[in-house]
Structure 1
Amino acid sequence: MPATTHLLYLHGFRSSPRSAKARMVAERVARDHPAVTFWCPQLPPSPRQAMAMVAGGIAGWPRAAMAVIGSSLGGFYAGWVAQRMRCPSVLLNPAVDPARDLARYIGEHPVWQSPEERVFFRAEYIDELRALDVRGEPPAAPAFAVIAKGDEVLDWREMAARCAHARLRLLDGSNHALDDFASQIDEVFDFLQLAR
């Protein structure tokens, strides 16, 4: 795989570019890979709008030299981006069936990193999530999944089965937020092969 010159990071539900993992990745890219274009957008709650924004933002990126990282719902989105762009992906505790799992979250919720900010998840977003589901498609590019058996939100077995095509790092403990991501980041960056 050629050196990656463009890296996209997609945060999860009720998260933001200020999440610990997103900041760690951004800092590592800035410090060790200053030639790499890094983008971690604040995603709108509408899945359709989120992916339209992402598609527009990466439209000029070189497909052969880009990669995507996604966490939780961002991991679901990263699967869609990887299929469409045929690029490598890193999936961090990726949501497998968010149309099913987020149906109970319709309504207003605080953003994890800033509780004063709110996100409103609408009923119509469930169908938008279904439209982005790529589970029936064969993998388009290499993937690396980091999955915590200690995830308190998503079932690690379901995630591992969904990521059977991927290089898999199963963590015996940890949690949904991957609070120990600092111990996984080297392997993530080894997989990504970022340009120097």
Structure 2
Amino acid sequence: MIIYLHGFRSGPASSKIQELAGHMKARGLADQLWCEQLSPVPFEAIAQAEAAIAACATPPTLVGSSLGGFYATHLAEKHDLRAVLVNPAVFRDGYDPSPFVGEHEHLYTGERFSFTWEHVEQAEALRVERISHPQNFWLMVEEGDEVLDARLSIAHFAGARQTVLPGGDHGFSRWTEYLDEVLRFAGLI
């Protein structure tokens, strides 16, 4: 089973999720993907993912993009799960969260939501300072990410499997090239 955790302002209609879902459907694995709209409240999003993990008969593989990668890191460390992290958010000391505080709109639903300083505190409480099981992680970053600094992820996930590609963008433009490998990492093919 793959549990996909989307990024901030994103959702199940994002192109990465749709491409993965289509690929899995073509391989007869449509029932092996969970992805729901996550709450913008960090503790609520984690609770949603925890419920999905608990419902799995066998340990799932997490796939997280951007903020979803941050959540996947927390959950993979907590539950000793494998995780594919696609241009993940890595909130290190000195990171300024203020641009995210305020009113936002979901990219795919148009729904408006507030992200508050209390939500920032919740996210900071989920931060993993040091990866204790790097063998569980596969970091996928494109150095051209215009939103997050790929160097922070590369350093944070030292010792993990890493696919670091020049150019690209925050959406990870070469995602479809890696779909079979993601399924292999998850043990589905």
TM-score higher than 0.5:
yes
**Aligned pair partner of 1:163 in 141, 157, 161:** 157
Unaligned segments of structure 2, at least 5 residues: none
2:132 maps to 1:138:
yes
Look up the match of 2:141: 147
Classify 1:149/1:140 alpha carbon distance in 2 versus 1 (closer, same or farther; 3 Å). closer
One of 114, 118, 126 as aligned partner of 1:124: 118
Secondary structure in 2 aligned to 1:119? strand
Aligned residues: 188
SS of alignment partner, residue 45 of structure 1: coil
Q: Where does 1:1-196 land on structure 2 (aligned, <5 Å)?
A: 6-34=1-29, 36-63=31-58, 65-97=59-91, 100-114=95-109, 116-139=110-133, 142-194=136-188
The 8 Å contact of residues 143 and 165 in structure 1, kept in 2 or not, is answered as no
Against the structure 1 CA distance between its residues 68 and 172, is the aligned structure 2 distance closer, same or farther, given a 3 Å change threshold?
Answer: same
Moved more, 10-19 or 36-45: 36-45
Displacement of 1:41 after TM fit?
Answer: 1.3
Superposed CA offset, 1:85-104 (max 9, x none): 21111000010008934332
* Contact 1:72–1:95 (8 Å) recurs in 2: yes
Indicate if the aligned counterparts of 2:53 and 2:60 stay in contact, CA closer than 8 A: no
Letter in 2 for 1:178: F
Structure 2 letter corresponding to 1:46: V
Question: 1-side partners of 2:162 and 2:113: how far apart?
Answer: 32
TM-score scaled by length of structure 1: 0.87
Range with bigger deviation, 44-53 or 177-186: 177-186
Identity percentage of aligned residues = 36
Separation in 2, partners of 1:172, 1:81: 28
> Is the contact made by 1:14 and 1:119 (CA closer than 8 Å) also made in structure 2?
no
Deviation string for 1:133-168 (max 9, x for gaps)?
112351275211110100001111111111212111
> Which runs of 5 or more structure 1 residues have no equivalent in the other structure?
1-5
CA distance in 2, matches of 1:157, 1:98: 12
Q: What RMSD over aligned residues (CA atoms) do the two structures have, in Å?
A: 2.0
Determine if contact 1:91/1:146 at 8 Å carries over to the other structure: yes
Paired amino acid for 1:58: I
